Amino acid sequence: NFHAHTGRDVIVYGQTELTRDLYDAREAAGAPTLFNVDHVTIHDAKSDAPHVTYQVAGTEHRIDCDFIAGCDGFHGVSRQTIPLSVRREYEKIYPFGWLGILSETPPVHDELIYSGSERGFALCSMRSATLSRYYIQCALSDSPEDWSDANFWEELKRRIPEDAADRLITGPSIEKSIA
C-alpha cells in the first residue's frame, strides 16, 4: 500500500503498458508498426522535411516526417544519428547506476516491487508471465561484466523483502546492462 507508507499517491504507466497502448493506437490509425528493420537512420532532423530511412531484407525504405522525437533511450538510434548541434537532450544524471537484467523467469510478483535498503535500491518488474526485468543500484564504475548472474540474484535477494526473496525464481539473464 504505497499511500500508507508514503502519504502520497503515484500512477505508474509501465513500459509494457505504454508500448501496448502505442501499438493499439497505431493499429487504430491504420499505421503499420515495423519490427526487425536494419540500418535505421534519421536524416535532416532540424529541417522542414526530416525523414527516417531503414532497410528490410536489404531494401531501403523511407518515412517522411513532420518532426522526429527520439525517445529510444541512451543507446538508441536517435542519439547516434541526430547531430549534437541540433539535438536537445533531457536527462538527470545520478551518482549511481542501474544494473538491469532481463530473464525468462516468472515475475516475483504481479505488481512492481520498489525496495530501498542499506545496500541500495532494487526494483522488480514484470514484462509477462514468463519474462521479468530486475534492477539493482550499483556504482557508476561497475560494468555488466563485473556481475555474474549468480552475484546479481544474490544481491537482489538481499535488497528485497524476505517473502519476495523466498519466492524469487532465478535463471540466466538474456540481457544485462547498466544505465
Asked whether residue 70 is domain-assigned, the answer is: yes
User: Is the torsion defined by CA of 83, 84, 86, 90 positive or negative?
Assistant: positive
pLDDT in tens, 74-120: 788 998 888 888 888 888 888 999 999 999 999 999 888 999 999 99
Contacts of 16 (CB under 8 A, 6+ apart): 126, 127, 128
Looking at the structure, tell me whether residues 109 and 165 fall in a common domain: yes
Q: What is the pLDDT of residues 15-30, one digit of tens each?
A: 778 888 999 999 999 9
What is the mean pLDDT of the segment spanning 119-130? 93
What are the φ and ψ backbone dihedral angles of 101, each rounded to 5 degrees?
-130, 155
CATH number, domain with residue 114: 3.30.9.10
Q: Is 155 in the same domain as 103?
A: yes
Domain-embedded: residue 8: no
pTM, entire model: 0.64
Q: What is the pLDDT of residue 15?
A: 76
Quote the CA–CA distance of 154 and 150 in Å, as a whole number. 6
Question: Per residue, what are the HEC states of 106-174?
Answer: CCCCCCCEEEEECCEEEEEEEEECCEEEEEEEECCCCCHHHCCHHHHHHHHHHHCCHHHHHHCCCCCEE
Position 5 pLDDT exceeds 90:
no
Q: What is the pLDDT of the chain when averaged over all its residues? A: 92
Per the domain annotation, does 89 fall within a domain?
A: no
